[in-house]
A and B are shown apart, each in its own frame.
Chain A
Amino acid sequence: DTAVSQTPKYLVTQMGNDKSIKCEQNLGHDTMYWYKQDSKKFLKIMFSYNNKELIINETVPNRFSPKSPDKAHLNLHINSLELGDSAVYFCASSQGLDRALVGYTFGSGTRLTVV
């Protein structure tokens, strides 16, 4: 059983399109995150949700909109895709905001390529 699963694994799309990435975790965690990993492997947090409530919203263009229908799911919708959005997007989860200390469980990533 995959603990944190993301779909799709690969996504190739044209500039200007709108796309979504889905994330689901079956660990019973109540906190979920989106991270962006650029071409230099730099990982930067984008968003965090705790029990469906937005907790962290880093300096991310408002073309990116996360949605958490329940605490097991955190989806990422991106409008008007730009070339610079090309990256690997990772979903992660942890049990509780103050439990980030015990470490995250990561999904295997979604490689987004904007052409």
Chain B
Amino acid sequence: AQSVTQPDIHITVSEGASLELRCNYSYGATPYLFWYVQSPGQGLQLLLKYFSGDTLVQGIKGFEAEFKRSQSSFNLRKPSVHWSDAAEYFCAVVPSGGYQKVTFGTGTKLQVIP
């Protein structure tokens, strides 16, 4: 079945430490891939997206993500986390071809400790 999975429900990192949030997908063909961030009490904001080409994509707020076809993964990274990065992060996919509807993963909650 087609799915997008975020294995980590909750991650805690120290401020200034590096961050990697995992996302795996299961689709017949490589879908289009996104990361969104949801701050407390807010809607979702698009961080970055991958359609094709360079497998390392840069986003806003210093985030980047790397697409790895062999692992069906699209992990989000940031070299140095700031306290303001504490939020919920959602990986999302749009299947290539067919009807274009965004399907979200279950989210990873990031806690940043001083």
Q: Which residues of A line the B interface, CB within 8 A?
A: 4, 40-45, 48, 56, 90, 92, 97-98, 100-104, 106-109
User: Which residues in B have some Cβ–Cβ distance to A below 8 Å?
Assistant: 32, 34, 36, 38, 41-46, 49, 51, 88, 90, 94, 99-104, 106-107, 109
- Majority secondary structure of chain B interface residues (helix, strand, loop or mixed): strand
Q: Looking at the assembled complex, report how far the CB atom of B34 sits from the nearest CB atom of chain A, in whole angstroms.
A: 6
Main SS of chain A's interface residues? mixed
- B49–A101 touching, CB < 8 Å: yes
| CB atoms of A43 and B90 under 8 A apart | yes
> Which residues on the A side are within 8 Å of B45 (C-beta)?
106
A104 with B42: CB separation less than 8 A: no
B11 CB, min distance to chain A CBs, angstroms? 14
CB-based contact B44/A104 at 8 Å: yes
Report yes or no: B100 in contact with A104, Cβ–Cβ below 8 A. Answer: no
Closest to B90 in A: A43
Contact yes or no, B102 A45, CB < 8 A: yes
> Given A43-B90, A48-B101, A103–B43 Cβ distance below 8 Å?
no
Known: A40-B106, A41-B106. A101 touches B100 (CB 8 A): yes
